Amino acid sequence: QVQLVESGGGLVQAGGSLRLSCVASGRTFSSYPVGWFRQAPGKDLEIVAAINWNGDSTSYADFVKGRFTLSRDNAKNTAYLRMNSLKPEDAAVYYCAVRAREHLDYYYSRKEDYDYWGRGTQVTVSS
């Protein structure tokens, strides 16, 4: 089992920044790919960014490229999503997830690829 706890969400003005954290406990976080997803009211869950097990490969959705940065600190069992230049359309509940089953040295972009999920953290962006 892996427990994931997200934090760092909140209310921010458009153009502002937030850093989300995802802290893992339980099994060995350092060997797992991590993904961040988001879900806005009335919309489907969508991938935001993903990272491989050691942090040297990342992928971003087109709508966050150049604004968001995903990183990880395996010594702290933590993944970070730095969000800059936030827009009202970025408002959503943000979830982190890890893939604990067999995986390649790569990132994964589908929700079906992940095994454990946090409860999410709310991000609200005022215009």
Average confidence score pLDDT of the chain: 95
In the structure, what pLDDT confidence band is assigned to residue 28 with cuts at 50, 70 and 90?
confident
Q: Would strands 121-126 and 10-13 be described as parallel, antiparallel, or unpaired? A: parallel
Between CA 127 and CA 110 the distance in angstroms is 30
Q: Is the pLDDT of residue 63 over 90?
A: yes
The residue count of the chain comes to 127
What are the tens digits of pLDDT across the range 84-101? 999 999 999 999 999 998
Tell me the residue type at 103. Answer: H
Rg, C-alpha atoms of the chain: 13
Mean pLDDT of all residues in 19-43: 93
